Amino acid sequence: MALILITHNMGVVSDTTERVAVMYAGQIMEQRPTQSLFTSPQHPYTAALLAARPEASDGGRLATIPGVVPGVYDRPRGCLFNPRCVYATPLTDKVRPDLRPWMDGLIRCHYPLGDPTRHERIAADGGAADGAPILKRETVS
């Protein structure tokens, strides 16, 4: 038997699923077995989502992802996550990545987080490969 569960509650996802597909602006960005996705996210958006969970907070501060999700009619040319991604480069601004096999699943990213050559490729493509944090933190009242 199969069940498709659509939720933003990552606790429910971790407790009830075997495989998970993380979507952003209507596209699958990462699809992997739940356990490996939670322990080692490969897409910057997946990592940002997991960092924004209340249980990942540092005592009252919840992580946020700066910017907004693109609408149907205002999509960027390249990667849909490009305007919000700290690893954005001129390549990600122009070329939308394909969904391709990666590790134990699929990914739609030019620079997966587990790629050992990622920082060199980001720098070669004109980006800042300094490992800046993906998220900013804001106080939640």
The pLDDT, as a whole number, for residue 139 is 37
Which residues of the chain are modeled with pLDDT < 70? Answer: 128-141
* Helices and strands, number each (H, E), in the chain: 5, 6
pLDDT in the model for residue 127: 84
pLDDT at 130: 55
Residue 88 is encoded by which pair of tokens? 């954005």
Instruction: Give the model's pLDDT for residue 39.
Output: 96
- pLDDT score for 64: 86
Which tokens sit at 5? 């569960």
The confidence score (pLDDT) of residue 136 equals: 35
| Rounded-to-5 percentages of helix, strand, coil across the chain | 30, 20, 55
How far apart, in whole angstroms, are the C-alpha atoms of residue 31 and residue 107? 6
Which domains are seen in the chain, by residue range? 18-139 (3.40.50.300)
